Amino acid sequence: MNVFSHNKLLTLESGITLPGYYLAYNTYGTLNETRDNVIWVFHALTANSDPADWWSGLFGAGKLLDPNRFFIICVNMPGSCYGSIGPLDIDPRTTSTAAHPFFHDFPFFTPRDMARAYAPLLEYFDIKKIHFGIGGSMGGQQLLEWAVEAPDLFNFIFPIATNAVHSPWGIAFNASQRLCIEADSTWKEDAATAGMEGMKVARSVALISYRNYNTYQLHQSESTSEQIDHFRSDSYQRYQGEKLARRFNAFSYYALTRSMDSHNLGRGRSSIEGALTRIKARTLVIGIHTDILFPPHEQQFIADHIPGATCRIIDSVYGHDGFLLEHEQIQQLIRNFMLRSVSGSGQTSTSQELTTD
């Protein structure tokens, strides 16, 4: 993992100005001479800057994200707890004699703020063009914001299981999760462990939106009709909360759910539809037919308003989490789309274009 420090003022959409910030990031592969073999991967809510860790089905030799052919960049989003500026870090607005962590005072970044924070890293690498950007869920929100902010930056974009504006339904789920954290008696403390029990419950709430009825029916049903207690789905919910608590903190979880809620491409622009028409990248939007958190009509809406965009909906029993698990379907859709795009434009496939194996 690397850390990029930017020591210039950054004014967030909230109006708060930071004197500087830092981003944890990983790179894989080698930047070619023309500096145009770049893939930018945007991670989702609780992931990190290592796509090999959470998207291993797409990452590696011969796969979509192939470090032998591409220069791959993934940045840990601000507000997270995996190396970028976050709630447990020292507030740079305080003096050295009174320095203290942000804790509850962390100024959350909107997805638009995040995209703007990444731009100086692009300048650091002297990259003028990104071959393609890809991200699911909250990662897709950041990708869309950047593609609107910088229409000439991406050749291709692949937003997956995401939206152009976070829905009232999605906000309600996130609000319910924050209520779980707020109900934790330790939440008001200025301590790294504050709110952790509440976050475990919040994760349980989130899982219901990440999966669906059929997912639980398939994987958490009992093997006998005699069970009256200690059900599999009960233990599964508890296990997932404990699992997250071992690697995350409640401050980051609270801040990032607020970040997701703030997502609206139309804010400060003519409209959501007008913002999407600014995107020039060749776009394939991918949805999941069982996704109840980001239902397919949200992806269709994106594709309907980006000039020339295509929308494809994949089958998956896993609901929203299918964007992390259905790697074979996602990879094939993207490869086919890029091949058709090159063929349709009359171009000859170049070294950075994807080819089927």
Return the pLDDT at 345.
58
Biggest distance spanned by C-alpha atoms of the chain: 66
Catalytic residue flag (residue 305): no
Structure token pair of residue 329:
């379907």
Determine the residue type at 161. Answer: A
Q: Coil, helix or strand for 136?
A: strand
Q: What share of the chain is helix, strand, coil (3-state, %, to 5)?
A: 40, 15, 45
Q: Which positions of the chain have pLDDT values less than 70?
A: 95, 344-357
pLDDT in tens, 27-44: 999 999 999 999 999 999
For 184, other C-beta atoms within 10 Å of its C-beta total: 19
Catalytic residue among 49, 137, 252, 262: 137
Contact 54, 47 (CB under 8 A): yes
Catalytic residue chosen out of the listed positions 263, 320, 327, 341 = 320
Q: Which of 339, 352, 321, 299 is nearest to 159 (CA)?
A: 299
Distance CA 186, CA 311 (A): 45
The rounded distance, in Å, linking the Cα atoms of 294 and 164 is 10
The pLDDT score that the predictor gives to residue 117 is 98
Burial class (CB in 10 A: 0-12, 13-18, 19+), 117: buried
Q: What pLDDT does residue 229 have?
A: 81
The whole-number pLDDT of residue 344 equals: 66
Report the alpha-carbon distance of residue 353 to residue 221 in Å, rounded.
44
User: Can you give the pLDDT at residue 353?
Assistant: 37
Q: Is the pTM of this model over 0.75?
A: yes
- Catalytically annotated residue among 66, 113, 261, 291: 291
Instruction: Answer yes or no: are the C-beta atoms of 321 and 216 closer than 8 Å.
Output: no
Is 291 among the catalytic positions? Answer: yes
* 320 tagged catalytic: yes
